[in-house]
Amino acid sequence: MAHSAIERILARDRLIVVASLLACVVVSAWYILDGAGTGMSSVDMSVETGPAGALIAGTPDMISPHLWSLRYAVVVFVMWWLMMVAMMVPSAAPTILLYGALYRERGAWGPLEFLAGYLAMWAAFSLVATAVQGLLAATGMMSAMYMNLATNYLAAAVLIGAGLYQLSPVKAACLDDCRGPVEALTRHRRTGRAAAFRTGLVHGRYCLGCCWALMALLFVGGVMNIWWIAAIAAYVAVEKLAPGGKNLSRIMAAALVLAGIALLVTSLASA
């Protein structure tokens, strides 16, 4: 009888965590699809540019320098953060649920606190991304309409840079950590006050080290281009969770470098 009661409680805790993860993803995705408070429809913009994204520089009025207000900067930060929630939580969900299974004594609160730490790390990334986007907008290096880099030379540099990072030792180490959650959670375990939150921060740091260059690709195709958002999120999930994900990282590296070179050659030829 007591054993059955414990199993019911554990099942309820797991259901709470799963429902919370699903709610995070659904609400965040809906917010991005709705335009994220920017006044632009991400759906309309994505349909207009197509799966290739806004790779061609905009017209002069689209890329003129634009200084942000504090309110708009907050809007952009929230947009980036919720975009990261929608993109990264699905691939992090198995680790979050595993944390709950390893430390059952914490109930549902443990994995939810872990999730909070994980998302806090991506909030830090979103703050940096917002600052970079603001700088690009202020210098006229970003299209105001499509929220992408204003010149193909910059876009090519980001593609090539992201491809080369895929081959770096830092990327490999962070990917190993993300692909081996049992060992990682054991090694990164924290004790004491806010232990789950701090463990989530550590896991988020490795996840950030694994994926930040891929997120920078959004500056190439359009920050709110849903084709690119969905493609990057799907790739991240496969790279982190699929059996051959580590080998896929090298394939993506070659694809990004070749795409960057092709874009650069095309731009030079049309100059």
Q: pLDDT per residue over 201-214, tens digit each?
A: 999 999 999 999 99
Taking only the tens place, the pLDDT of each residue in 79-134 is 999 999 999 999 999 999 998 888 776 666 889 999 999 999 999 999 999 999 99
Average pLDDT of the chain is: 86
Report pLDDT for 187: 82
Q: Which pLDDT value is given to residue 170?
A: 97
Q: What is the pLDDT of residue 194?
A: 84
Q: Is 238 exposed, middle or buried (0-12, 13-18, 19+ CB in 10 A)?
A: middle
Question: What is the pTM for the complete model shown?
Answer: 0.89
